[in-house]
Structure 1
Amino acid sequence: MATLIIVLWMVSITMLMLSDFSFLNPLLYVFVLIQMHLYTGLFITAHDAMHGTVAPNKPKLNLFFGQTCTLLYALFPFKALYAKHHEHHDFVHSAKDPDYHEGKFIVWYYHFIKQYLSWRQVVLMAIIYNVLKIYLPEKNLLMFWVLPSLLSTLQLFYFGTYLPHKGEHQNIYQSNTQSKNHVWAFFSCYFFGYHYEHHQSPGTPWWKLWQVKEQNSSTNNG
């Protein structure tokens, strides 16, 4: 599954970078959303690697996939993300939780980005951008590299952090969950709207979270 996400992202971004498009073509914006979703898939795959589920019992391969996805996403150092993400699980919805912040959406989003983005990354990404624009049309870089990656951060934050953790929750995981709708759950954020289920079973990869949702729904209905 991790290989599929990486290959789809690579094929998509290569084809889009070489395309000649018009801003009047409505398909352009569909392709931007597809690329955004694939960027989110890269990060979700890296997240699964943080829980050891990409290549179970093969830690070096698991680390390889995690680091590859975080580098492709935005040059994130995998080990630093690993440490912060496990702090989130250990101290969820507390002052020690790097993903949690008491405040409105924009303030929380700013706090969230600040936790993970470093000036080194920004500088390196700027250098890469300026090198690539020598060889590729700048409008393609902006529409299919810069914009989808930025939109992906909003997708990840809104569906994977803000909605699940805002407010107070009467459960040990301090997490909300989307209503059962597997199609919407996949397209919104690779089933991470089923966030209670993720905290309940962090060893379940993203593509099996719907099964945990089904089990919980059957138990509750029973």
Structure 2
Amino acid sequence: MTFFQKNQGVLIALAIIIAWFSSLTFLLHQVVNWASPATYLFILVQMHLYTGLFITAHDAMHGVVSRNKKINQIIGVITAGLFAYNYYYRLLPRHHAHHRHVATDQDPDYHGGNFVAWYYSFLKQYITWPQLLLMAISFNVLKVIFPVENVVLYWMLPAIIATFQLFYFGTYLPHRGEHAPDNKHKSGTQAKNHLWAFLSCYFFGYHYEHHDKPYLPWWQLYKVKT
């Protein structure tokens, strides 16, 4: 087994972290041109990288970023923290509760109400007052260093949109409605389209497949899609 094969999960995680940080650093220094389509494309790119941070933290919760438990946890803590100061060790038991009790009253990610009520419930599960305080402090520090519109457009807004992206493609679409009695994971799945599955939520639209094989990292989920 080559070094890359042995450490592929760690290298992919580092690539996402470096891409997110490099992109953010670059964008915070740019002059915002409201008339340019590139401005809005950059927001989407940064959103996608934020989602990648959370998906990496999620994979760490399943122990599939690194075989070394310490390295796996460190990457999980870092990537969760970079996404709006999420606390890895708070998310960890909640996510495993989701897998154990999917689409039941004991599932912290599930809500039987309408879309708006479900999204609000989702936000309450993943946003805490300490996070909001740290975000407020960071915002006030960053706006002293960088133009405030850059901070809003490229640091704050992409994180907010990424939260919606994770909810919509990774929770709401796969778990809404009734599922067939033989659907043991009570999960739907996207139609097979690897490009869209990656762009929409790092293959987590293949959600039945994830619940069926939670030991697969995000970058291998497409291999089991039928």
User: For each residue in 1:150-195, what CA deviation from the matched residue of structure 2 results, as whole angstroms up to 9, or x when unmatched?
Assistant: 0000100000000000011120100000010101100010000000
Q: Counterpart of 1:114?
A: 124
User: For each residue in 1:83-118, what CA deviation from the matched residue of structure 2 results, as whole angstroms up to 9, or x when unmatched?
Assistant: 100000000000010000011111100000101111
Question: What secondary structure does 2:60 align onto?
Answer: helix
Letter matched to residue 200 of structure 1: D
Q: Counterpart of 2:63?
A: 52
In the alignment, structure 1 residue 183 sits paired with structure 2 residue 195 = yes
Displaced runs of 4+ in structure 1, greater than 6 A?
none
Question: What secondary structure does 2:197 align onto?
Answer: helix
CA distance in 2, matches of 1:107, 1:100: 11
CA distance in 1, matches of 2:140, 2:32: 21
In the alignment, structure 1 residue 135 sits paired with structure 2 residue 145 = yes
Matched ranges for 1:133-212 at <5 A = 133-170=143-180, 171-212=183-224
- TM-score by length of structure 2 reads 0.93
User: For each residue in 1:44-74, what CA deviation from the matched residue of structure 2 results, as whole angstroms up to 9, or x when unmatched?
Assistant: 0000000000002x11000010000011111
Matched ranges for 1:72-111 at <5 A = 72-111=82-121
Q: 2:23 aligns with which of 12, 18, 27?
A: 12
The structural deviation recorded for 1:212 is 1.1
In the alignment, structure 1 residue 62 sits paired with structure 2 residue 72 = yes
The structural deviation recorded for 1:131 is 1.1
What CA RMSD, in Å, does the superposition of the two structures yield over aligned residues? 0.6
- TM-score by length of structure 1 reads 0.95
Given that residues 203 and 222 in structure 2 are in contact (C-alpha distance below 8 angstroms), is that contact kept between their aligned partners in structure 1?
yes
Letter matched to residue 87 of structure 1: A
Question: What secondary structure does 2:36 align onto?
Answer: coil
CA distance in 1, matches of 2:222, 2:157: 29
The percent of aligned pairs where both chains have the same amino acid is 54
